Amino acid sequence: MTAFLFSGQGSQYPEMGKELLEANPEFGFIYETASDILGFDLKKVTFESSEEELAQTKYSQPAIMAMSLLCFETAKKNNITFDAAAGHSLGEYAAMTACGMLSYEDGFRVIKARAAAMDKAGRETEGAMYAVMRMSPEEIEKICAETEGYVVPVNYNSPAQTVIAGEKEAAARAAEKFAEAGARTIQLKVSAAFHSKLMEGASKEFYEAVKDIKFNAPSVPFYSNVTGALLEDFSDMPSLLAKHMISPVRFTSELAAMNSAGIDKFVELGPNKVLTGLVKKTLKTATALSIENLKTLEAKKKKKYIEKENSYEKICTYRSSSGTFHVPVYT
């Protein structure tokens, strides 16, 4: 069985999706729908902005979602089917739209509210985030719990990488302990501690903006970052998504749950193949590939796609409005 995975923030790059859209102009409705709701020309922003401009949260979140949905529509057009859906953080919103939980219009309404709340939090709150490599998640949890102040794991990306977030001083103290224990740490160039309780204000603002939006049951099994498992209760999605903003992304647990359910093929829809790399590091026997341009699409159709082994550095190259850093998606 096959799961579609949807990319998260940090994976964006200028002109992403341009080639696919030129080859499939009928999917221009995605950008038109988004632009009407957002109040700016998303296609122009995505295809003509600089790397720094596109990295701004208010632009990057809807741009990644639109590009991911463009990849999804292109896959459907080419008879590539899926049996389950999931996303990494931001990617959950494209996943929900792809499996019918949200209309395209409501999908972009929700992402507009999320981007606005998180952009505001990034300017008004202080926090820090670090990627921790070469240390088990259990040891990272233990050190965080023993560190003075508030610092917690927030992204369980793979067995070899976890992201922590929290108060600046506490996160720095924890990072020192990780380094002393032989782990590698990289501070992310962000001003807020995403997916932690320091985002409670943004979470509440987001909930108020989306509480009346209608969510449907998905057309295929949908796996949640919050639970790290198959989601079965869809009765209050606005509350769950608000909780998502202050909860860890349990991506490794999601992958394990999908694999246990018989899913052994993963197709990432969106920019930069980041989740493809995380799948390979987590599920050694699974097949993982991506669709982000015509080359990868044709390879998937011909079933000759061979994912080259990227160096750890290449897999983990990310960009934010504050600059370039090395870590998989976190928002």
| 326 occurs within a structural domain | no
Structural domain contains residue 168: yes
**Domain around 176:** 128-187
Among 53-62, 100-109, 148-157, 313-322, the least confident range: 313-322
* Alpha-carbon dihedral 20, 22, 27, 33, rounded to 10 degrees: 110
| Per-residue pLDDT tens over the stretch 183-199 | 999 998 776 899 999 99
- Residue 309 counted as domain residue: yes
Q: Does 330 reside within a domain? A: no
Same domain, 138 and 120: no
Annotated catalytic residue, options 195, 224, 244, 290:
195
**Domain annotation covers residue 329:** no
Query: Using CA atoms, how far apart are residues 49 and 68, in angstroms rounded to an integer?
Result: 18
CATH of the domain at 107: 3.40.366.10
Neighbours of 284 (CB within 10 A): 7
Query: Which residues have CB under 8 Å from 182's CB, separation 6+?
Result: 134, 135
* The domain boundary residue, chosen from 146, 163, 187: 187
- Asked whether residue 209 falls in the same domain as residue 111, the answer is yes
Task: Extract the tokens encoding 323.
Answer: 């600059």
pLDDT at 312 over 90: no
Say whether 88 is catalytic: no
Residue 30, token pair as written in the block: 């995605």
Looking at the fold, whether 71 and 216 belong to one and the same domain comes out as yes
Q: Are 154 and 301 part of one and the same domain? A: no
Residues 150 and 90 in one domain: no
Share of the chain above pLDDT 90, in %: 77
277 and 143 assigned to the same domain: no
Is 170 within 8 Å of 216 (Cβ atoms)? no
Query: What are the DSSP calls for 14-27, one per residue?
Result: TTTTHHHHHH-GGG
Question: Does residue 229 sit within a domain?
Answer: yes
Indicate if 180 and 205 belong to the same structural domain: no
In tens, the pLDDT along 21-52 reads 999 999 999 999 999 999 999 999 999 999 98
Last residue of a domain, one of 146, 169, 187: 187
Q: Give yes or no for residue 85 having a pLDDT over 80.
A: yes
Listed in sequence order, the residues at least 6 apart from 207 whose beta carbon sits closer than 8 Å to its beta carbon are 238, 239, 241, 242
Residue 166 and residue 293 in one domain: no
Q: Which of 60, 68, 89, 247 is catalytic?
A: 89
Query: Is 244 an active-site residue?
Result: no
pLDDT at 309: 40
Same domain, 86 and 229: yes
Number of domains in the chain: 2
Say if residue 244's pLDDT is above 70: yes
The structure tokens 């380094």 sit at 179
Residue 229 corresponds to which amino acid? A
Same domain, 251 and 155: no
H helix or E strand, kind and range, residue 262: none
